[in-house]
Amino acid sequence: MREYLGVSPRLGTPMATHEFPRLRHGLGTPRTFAWAALLAMPVAMYFALAFAPREATMGNVQRIFYIHVPAAWVAFLAFFVTFVASGVYLYRRQERWDILAVSSAEIGVLFTSLALVLGSLWAKPVWGAWWTWDPRLITTLFLWMVYVGYLMLRSAIEDPTQQARFAAVFGIVAFVDVPIVYFSIRWWRTIHPVVFTGGGLNLDTRMLVALLVGLAAMTFLYLALLSLRSAIEAVQRRNAVLLQELEEREEA
């Protein structure tokens, strides 16, 4: 089978594996982003664990904040990218936008899970409970459920273009729904007040710096994962096409 690929005049010579990330469908520079993330993460850890002062009432556990907030930010950014890519896909019908949408949604689910877990770890010592039904928490959980649904919808539809189209429609509805969910829960909460309040953290300048460094590092990590994930997606799709052509050729 491999030799067949090699001599096939229509398919051309097979590409070496390392060339695949530079395919047109890929985001281009996974390596650059990966290096940036690799360098930025230890710096962010230093700022979170050493540079930022110890919080007066919560103590060291508050340092989770410097990863938790960036994780939540990246989750939101990722779903926003999915939303934009879905819209552009429906408008332009270029496959790379669908690749971008699915890759970003997957990473978004990962970071939403991270934000939820880290948030719970922080909430337990500070609030005395793993979870409270606060608007922000409910909205985050909502994000998780909706985008897991997005991935389930994708895997349930076989036809690739239909899958891309339907996922784009769902990706748009889901993101439009995010502010609606947030405000409906907030309005609902004015009637059923929360016992614990999430706010009240007065950020000192050094804390703010540590947070900003964390946000930058996590964004680099997101870009690195996104470019890698979309390169992999592009390769997988190309492989599927090649395999199909091969089967057709063998049948002929």
Partner 1 sequence: MKSLSVDIAPISTATTRRPRNASLGKAWALVLKDVRVEMRRREAVANSFVFALIALVIFNIALDLERQRLEALGPGLLWVAFVFAGVLGLGRTFVGEKDRGSLGGILVAPVDRGAVYAARVVSSLLFLLVMEMAILPLFALLFNIPLLHPLILPVVLLGTLGFCAVGTLFSALVASARTREALLPVLLLPVVLPVVVGSVEATALVLQEKPVGELLPWLGLLAAFDAIFLAVGVLLFEFVLEGSDA
Q: Give residues in contact with partner 1 (CB under 8 A).
A: 90, 142, 145-146, 149, 152-153, 156-159, 161-162, 165-166, 168-170, 172-174, 176-177, 180-181, 183-185, 187-188, 191
For tokens 């950014």, the residue is 77
Residue 170 CB, nearest approach to partner 1 (Å): 6
**Whole-angstrom Cα distance, residue 242 to residue 48?**
47
Q: Which CB sits closer to partner 1, 154 or 229?
A: 154
**Whole-angstrom Cα distance, residue 5 to residue 55?**
62
Residue 247 CB, nearest approach to partner 1 (Å): 22
Q: Which amino acid is at 59?
A: G
Q: Which CB sits closer to partner 1, 97 or 170?
A: 170
For tokens 């273009």, the residue is 161
Q: Which CB sits closer to partner 1, 108 or 214?
A: 108
Q: Which CB sits closer to partner 1, 80 or 166?
A: 166
Q: Which CB sits closer to partner 1, 29 or 184?
A: 184
Residue 136 CB, nearest approach to partner 1 (Å): 15
The tokens describing 46, both together, are 């230093």
**Whole-angstrom Cα distance, residue 143 to residue 109?**
8
The tokens describing 235, both together, are 């390769």
Strand partners, 55: 59
Handedness of CA 86, 87, 92, 97 (dihedral sign): negative
